Structure 1
Amino acid sequence: MSGDGTRCVRGGGHGEHGVGEPVHRGPVLTSTFHLGRPEQAESGTDFYARADNPTWREYEAVVGDLDGGACTVFPSGMAAIAAVLRAFASTDRGVLLPADGYYVARALADEELAPLGVPVAYCPTAGDWASAIAEHRPGLVLLETPSNPGLEVCDITAIAEAADAAGAVVAVDNTTATPLGQRPLDLGADVVVASDTKALSGHGDLLVGHVSTAGPVHAERIRGFRTRGGAIAGPMETWLALRGLATLDLRLARQAENARAVAVALREAAAAGTVAVSDVRWPGLADDPSHAPASRQMRRWNGVLRFTLPDVHAVSEFLDRTTLVDSATSFGGTRTAADRRSRWGDAVPDGLVRLSCGIEDTDDLVADVLGALRA
């Protein structure tokens, strides 16, 4: 198997191009395709853009290769999660979700599925999933590891074994880790879902998501939900995501380097009493509570860490004084961004900050963050 960087740039199994053909294909911008004569049995691969598109297939081939499964692209991460929830949760057997996972996924389950009679239950990411599965007998188990924003980690393989024994489908939100950092399908999961708006496309300029499945039956079900529901990605956005994906390996390496340096610097400054920071978490640190399970199932680290400041005012002061940290709610981009998560309803301290390290020079970023906090 080729290395991560090679697969990001040249993955997907595309063959040689003919002389005079473009090296970089552009997006296919059409809603309709030529069908041929009515009496022809075959109308070609494409017939209508809600069903398929050549740009989708190119993107899906690369991402599916990275995930190790069959990929289906969606217009956003939440569209992808919604398809998974609606495809595999039912009134007979509901869904078990992480209590500390992405808040919009919880809202979708509580406000849309539960009123339709779908049982909805929760378990903390670092909690006892085997017991929760045995108690609730869900049809779908949705994991998010590392969790957002707490960066807690659960054992995908162990949970997949418990879910399989209960006849449940296991889906893993792999947005934070990315397929370079973690391959849940190899660990026993049935489905991977992600917001490619974040690290995969990586430039903070588009919305896109995907679902990858371990087998063709689940893939067909997910694609059917996309076609019937009309939650389709724009060809231009998909093409931009494919272009951004080419540098994922390089971006992830710098982001992880920056996250380690910032996390270590924050801990050292807090111990010295020069910054009012507590509870610095990054799974890549050897003494982080999530490090042991993460190191067993993750292939590499990423750029997202968290820390807690005394209160809302302290977060505001920090953001006012920094020059290299944007106040923004997304993560995984080229620019470092901070988000005070309690503003969105997460059950975390008011001063908890999720910091998504970008690809700035490491020394510059560390100096800027520490300088803003000390000021």
Structure 2
Amino acid sequence: MGGAVRSGEQLLGERYRLIEQLGAGGMSVVWRGYDEVLGRQVAVKVLASRLASDKAFRHRIRVEAQAAARLCHPNITNVYDYGESEQVGLTVPYVVMELVDGGPLSSRLGRGGQLPWREAVTIGAEVASALATAHARGVVHRDVTPGNVMLTPTGVKVVDFGISALVGESEQGPDGALLGTPAYLAPERLDNGQVSPATDVYGVGLLLYRMLTGRLPWQASTTTQMLRAHMYHDPDPMPPVVGLPAEVEELVRRCLAKRPADRPPTAEVARTLADVAGIAAIVPVSPALGQFDPTLLENAGTTILPWSSATDALPFSIGRTRTRRAARGGARSRPGWPRRAWSRSPRPCGG
């Protein structure tokens, strides 16, 4: 934060005391904080001071906080509050979130390569269930990756809606830039398509393929090769997985269809996987319950933020595939969603 905010010295919004820095990404710093009013630990994401002077960035982070706060689901990390604090002459926005106890799926895969099929299907069902709720609210995650799926003692938490967008927005900003993780980008995102739930369904398909087989559907050693595979190459057939029901393999194939219209609806993905795993799928009863007001984006521009280097999310230009690496933070823990305690008692959601 360039010294704009320091732990233990003050309260943000006369309420949130910053205890220790947990992670730093390209555009924000995350702190473990303490809510002096409710007496609980929280995570506080603070916009980097170098960006705080930009009105567009401040407005966008507020819009994203509003969108995320509307998402009420046991597999989505709760957003509690948004505020702005005056620091050394700057108006610095911050978002207060649930503090998650767990580690990213990427670490689990890094240790074991692939997962037992029942565990993989259960994780996929919970991820798809969370996304179905977001989609019913008109919000698309756009970065469904192992780094953004946290494994906790009570189940999965889908985290970091930091590059989320509203259904119908363009994928490409005015400067031709696109944020995301190259290994998990849907083909339409590379062709300046419109944001749609099918983008996240593609990510779920890749997530399942990776968990079940220990690898992605293509052999690619460079970002350029990976992007071309998304656009032009059919995925390799899944190798046999002992005991895996055939409907899961077929579902993965449909999720990875090149055309968004050929992919199954998110709620269908959640229900199919939940049935196979023998768990209940928590999905919206009707999309009409979650109409999102597009006027919230008025004057917001098309700036997308923030991303985290820990998830290998790389901003790159559509016009050229050379990547520009995100600024790296010093913390080893997952920026934005650290390994810390959170209350296991259910909390009501707003919205």
Higher helix proportion (structure 1 or 2): 1
What TM-score, normalized to structure 1? 0.23
Work out which of the two has the higher radius of gyration on C-alpha atoms and give 1 or 2: 1
Q: Which has the higher contact order (CA 8 A, sep 6+)?
A: 2
What TM-score, normalized to structure 2? 0.24
